[in-house]
Chain A
Amino acid sequence: MKLLIVDDSLIIRNKIDRCILQRFSEVMHAENGKQALEVVIANKPDVITMDLTMPHMSGNEAVKEIIKIAPNTRIFVVSALADKATAISALTYGANGFLCKPFSAAELNSAIERIINVELSA
């Protein structure tokens, strides 16, 4: 399985990369929504972690576009925006899950497990 980590913070991308154990055969990084779209087209990741507040193209806009070109990709949003309306809006745009920053490695892995298991049982 391939994972794409989208976040404008290098430290958060590195943290997610370090936390995800060895479930993924390939891990790719993108700094914003626009770059994420290019990686999706070229490399077709199975799972994407998506930040929301990013320059150039926001996470929600990117999710909307990714769903059109790769509808089977599982996306979960990892954002500091902690209000319920943001989580609901992300799911409405097509994300499969939501994790609030700051997060622990256990919370991240459990969120990834959940969306992968949903895919397997669908």
Chain B
Amino acid sequence: MIERKHIDVFIEGLRHYFSHLDLTAKDDNDSLYIGAPYLMETDKEAGLDYTGVISISGNSTGHIFFSAKSSLLNFILLKYGERDFSELFKRDLVGEVANTLAGNARKVLGSEFHISPPKVINGKINPRNYRLSSRCYILPMRWNSNKAELIISI
């Protein structure tokens, strides 16, 4: 079952990740907005244009999804110095962001929080394809006005 520490660690992970991209911001992450987490309706599709999926095993089981609008991925690619905004690069990036957020969570959740290599899906998450937790949280965020969601199903 998801606990407060799971949500806190992923909020902190998002802040940490985007602060590394945002070296020109006046304060840490002044262009990052993280909204209040809310429960996902697990009988409906969720997510945005591209989604990186990490399977969790060990002391917790479930999935972590990082789903983003194409415009957000374009912006991050620019920050990485890429000039190729093709689907190949967006899929690679969304998987890498999901992997980084899930991997960083081990700092708090411990080394028995095992993560898989990322899988990537185009478009929304079909809940029928995953065993989602009955209490599955969506963390909405915007970075420089571009939307993404972190979905925690543990």
Measured CB to CB, the residues of A under 8 A from B are: 8-12, 14-15, 18, 53-55, 79-83, 85-86, 89, 100-104
15 A-B contacts, Cβ less than 8 Å apart? A9-B93, A9-B96, A9-B99, A11-B77, A11-B80, A11-B96, A15-B80, A53-B116, A55-B117, A81-B103, A81-B115, A83-B111, A85-B111, A100-B104, A104-B20
Indicate with 1 or 0, residue by residue over B66-92, a CB within 8 angstroms of chain A CB atoms: 000000000001001110000011001
Smallest Cβ distance from A12 to chain B, in angstroms? 6
Q: Cα distance A14–B77 when bound, in Å?
A: 11
| A-B contact number at CB 8 A | 67
Chain B residues in 8 Å Cβ range of A101: 100, 103-104
Smallest Cβ distance from B153 to chain A, in angstroms? 19
**Chain A, interface SS category:** loop
Q: Cα distance A12–B105 when bound, in Å?
A: 19
Chain B residues in 8 Å Cβ range of A86: 106, 111
Chain A residues in 8 Å Cβ range of B101: 80
A9 touches B103 (CB 8 A): no
B92 touches A102 (CB 8 A): no
Q: Cα distance A17–B104 when bound, in Å?
A: 23
